[in-house]
A = this chain, B = another copy of it.
């Protein structure tokens, strides 16, 4: 951005340069463009816009970024137009912003797609309520079977009834069954789209999307009005995985986008789950494949999914509230495996989940569940991509930061 450009942005945005710069990035760059995401992390939103709008951005962007002499005006115009439609921009600094999306900046990419989005467009009332709520992605084949739809709907309904938000992609098949399962019990559900949040895609889901926008929330990285492209679906899948505490695949053929979402879950150290089906069904082949490779846990119902993530979302365990008032020893009442994991945590630096899991003889999903419990109890702490003992040891009570990674 030229100095004039920066000035223009400042003039337009008042104090909210950062926010407007992020809108511009969301509008003028391709969703999931890793080069843009890295630039954003490296130099901040305003400088990123300054460079990209002046044609001085990284060469490796997925699509060329058109220079823009008045980025502030561009961003303000889109924002205003979106606002008239009842759509809003959610980005870091906003209450609604799901901080767990930042995990995307810690992991790799898939075909140069990846990274934390500059922000998300949102439609619907739920975003604030979703924050801090447990969320599970339920995804799968478009050409699903009756069995798959039934199981996805059932699992989603049970999750929603338990207060867990059901995230999916609003596609035909399993996605729709999942959203509908949550809607049916008036539960929370979030649709993450590859098109603008105001675009009815697929067409046949116009009414369903309208209900989600009333009862839940629709989110997208793509600007309002934009249509989906094949690569945007892939970029979108990373958001579904990053927004969720766990990803459940219900049916997936041999090569399937749903498995791509599962891959992202693995990258992000979210539990990846697969629901088996008849081995005679082609629609279960992809799921069985990842189960066979131990890239996902076999689950058969919502309770088994919640078991994998509950410790991360729950308050200190019942009966455990006393410890931080000095009434009980912090390790009292912990099962031996939880104690073992805590003992494996380093005092300095960070140990990855894989390492900790190997040390105590758990698989990664199990280890993650135990770490979540320790985190909730203030007995473990995240450090970058890894885990360590809390700096204050978690023994001193009130000082312990019990914030969950989100």
A278 to B148, alpha carbons, bound, how many Å?
9
> From residue 136 to 159 of chain A, which have CB atoms closer than 8 A to chain B?
147, 150-151
Tell whether, in the assembled complex, residue A279 and residue B151 are in contact, meaning their CB atoms are under 8 Å apart.
yes
Tell whether, in the assembled complex, residue B277 and residue A304 are in contact, meaning their CB atoms are under 8 Å apart.
no
Tell whether, in the assembled complex, residue A291 and residue B298 are in contact, meaning their CB atoms are under 8 Å apart.
yes
Interface size on A, residues (CB 8 A): 24
Tell whether, in the assembled complex, residue A292 and residue B297 are in contact, meaning their CB atoms are under 8 Å apart.
yes
Q: 0/1 per residue, A282-320, Cβ < 8 Å to B? A: 001100100111100111110010000000000000000
A57 part of interface (Cβ distance < 8 Å):
no
Cβ-neighbour of A288 out of B151, B300, B385 (below 8 A): B300
A301 to B276, alpha carbons, bound, how many Å?
14
Tell whether, in the assembled complex, residue B275 and residue A279 are in contact, meaning their CB atoms are under 8 Å apart.
yes
Cβ-neighbour of A298 out of B150, B298, B299 (below 8 A): B298
A301 to B278, alpha carbons, bound, how many Å?
11
Cβ-neighbour of A278 out of B278, B285, B291, B292 (below 8 A): B278
Q: Nearest CB to that of A284 among chain B residues?
A: B276
Cβ-neighbour of A277 out of B150, B278, B301 (below 8 A): B278
Q: Nearest CB to that of A275 among chain B residues?
A: B279
Stoichiometry (number of copies): 2
Tell whether, in the assembled complex, residue B280 and residue A147 are in contact, meaning their CB atoms are under 8 Å apart.
yes
Q: 0/1 per residue, A205-240, Cβ < 8 Å to B? A: 000000000000000000000000000000000000
A363 part of interface (Cβ distance < 8 Å):
yes
Tell whether, in the assembled complex, residue B288 and residue A292 are in contact, meaning their CB atoms are under 8 Å apart.
no
Kindly name the residue among A275, A298, A363 whose own CB sees the greatest number of chain B CB atoms within 10 A: A298
Q: Which residues of B contact A276 (CB under 8 A)?
A: 276-277, 279, 284, 288, 291, 298
Tell whether, in the assembled complex, residue B150 and residue A280 are in contact, meaning their CB atoms are under 8 Å apart.
yes
Tell whether, in the assembled complex, residue A279 and residue B294 are in contact, meaning their CB atoms are under 8 Å apart.
no
A299 to B289, alpha carbons, bound, how many Å?
9
Chain B nearest CB, measured from A111 CB (Å): 19
Cβ-neighbour of A279 out of B291, B292, B300 (below 8 A): B300
Q: Which residues of B contact A279 (CB under 8 A)?
A: 151, 275-277, 300-301
A280 to B150, alpha carbons, bound, how many Å?
9
A151 to B278, alpha carbons, bound, how many Å?
9
Q: Which residues of B contact A280 (CB under 8 A)?
A: 147, 150-151
Q: Which residues of B contact A363 (CB under 8 A)?
A: 294
A74 to B284, alpha carbons, bound, how many Å?
58
Chain B nearest CB, measured from A285 CB (Å): 8
Tell whether, in the assembled complex, residue A292 and residue B277 are in contact, meaning their CB atoms are under 8 Å apart.
no
Q: Which residues of B contact A304 (CB under 8 A)?
A: 292
Tell whether, in the assembled complex, residue B278 and residue A147 are in contact, meaning their CB atoms are under 8 Å apart.
yes
Q: Which residues of B contact A278 (CB under 8 A)?
A: 147, 151, 277-278
A243 to B276, alpha carbons, bound, how many Å?
29
Q: Which residues of B contact A147 (CB under 8 A)?
A: 278, 280
Q: Nearest CB to that of A304 among chain B residues?
A: B292
Q: Which residues of B contact A285 (CB under 8 A)?
A: 300
A151 to B292, alpha carbons, bound, how many Å?
18
Kindly name the residue among A297, A299, A300 whose own CB sees the greatest number of chain B CB atoms within 10 A: A300
A292 to B294, alpha carbons, bound, how many Å?
11
Q: 0/1 per residue, A53-64, Cβ < 8 Å to B? A: 000000000000
7 pairs, A vs B, C-beta closer than 8 Å: A275-B279, A276-B288, A276-B298, A279-B301, A291-B298, A292-B304, A293-B385
Interface residue ranges, A against B (CB under 8 Å): 147, 150-151, 275-280, 284-285, 288, 291-294, 297-301, 304, 363, 385
* 6 closest residue pairs by CB, A with B: A276-B276, A279-B300, A291-B298, A292-B298, A288-B300, A278-B278
